């Protein structure tokens, strides 16, 4: 059974265009330094679909990707020069994981956060909950369906 997820990224840092422009449209989703988000990534399976969300600037769900490699150690945590360096993680005892995701599509029209807040049936989405700061979260099959419909409405 395919599961559905949502990942957040600041477009100024890494946008869906950056993903699409990556080699094979794929990238490692590194830099996650939150246990809850990490644990969700560990549950991701190859082929799971991933909604791509732009945070901060024009917050919106902007496209779709899929998991092409399941969780493995995030090597950026080992590099003292990396922005996401974490001395508590080492190649011998990795603390943080990442997955690889691949671009599938950029929606013909992005779905802005204020719009999503108005959609009946999405009220329970983690994304829409007050104070939600999770950067990786599960999405129910129903919510996923609804969002895909909205994204492709004429």
Partner DNA sequence: GCCAACGTTGGC
Which residues contact DNA (rule: CB under 7 A)?
A: 8, 10, 34-36, 55-56, 59, 88, 113-114, 117, 130-135
We find the least distance from the C-beta atom of residue 76 to DNA, in angstroms, to be 13
CB-CB neighbours of 36 under 10 Å: 13
Minimum CB distance to DNA smaller for 8 or for 66: 8
Separation CA 96–CA 75 (nearest Å): 8
Q: Which CB atom, from 120 or from 130, has the smaller least distance to DNA? A: 130
CA of 105: how far to CAs of 17, 65, 66, 86, in Å?
10, 7, 10, 33
Q: Which is nearer to DNA, 46 or 58 (CB)?
A: 58
Report which secondary-structure segment, H or E, holds 141: helix 141-151
Q: How many CB atoms lie within 10 A of CB 151?
A: 19
Residue with Cβ nearer DNA (133 or 152): 133
Q: Least distance to DNA from the beta carbon of 10, Å?
A: 6
Closest distance of CB 24 from DNA, Å: 26
Q: Shortest approach of DNA to residue 16 CB, angstroms?
A: 15
Judged by beta carbon, residue 15 or residue 135, the one nearer DNA is: 135
Question: Who's near 64: CB < 8 A, 6+ residues apart?
Answer: 49, 50, 51, 52, 104, 105, 107, 148
CB atoms within 10 A of CB 82: 14
């Amino acid at each position: 059974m395919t599961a559905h997820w949502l990942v957040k990224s600041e477009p100024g840092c890494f946008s869906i265009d950056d993903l699409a422009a990556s080699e094979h449209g794929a990238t490692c989703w590194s830099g996650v330094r939150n246990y809850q988000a990490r644990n969700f990534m560990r549950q991701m399976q190859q082929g799971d679909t991933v909604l791509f969300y732009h945070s901060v600037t024009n917050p919106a769900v902007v496209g779709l990707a899929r998991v092409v490699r399941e969780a493995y150690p995030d090597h950026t945590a080992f590099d003292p020069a990396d922005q996401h360096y974490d001395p508590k993680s080492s190649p011998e005892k990795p603390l943080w994981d990442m997955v690889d995701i691949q671009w599938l599509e950029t929606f013909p029209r992005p779905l802005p956060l204020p719009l999503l807040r108005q959609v009946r049936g999405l009220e329970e989405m983690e994304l829409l909950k007050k104070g939600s700061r999770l950067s990786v979260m599960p999405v129910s099959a129903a919510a996923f369906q609804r969002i895909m419909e909205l994204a492709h409405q004429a």
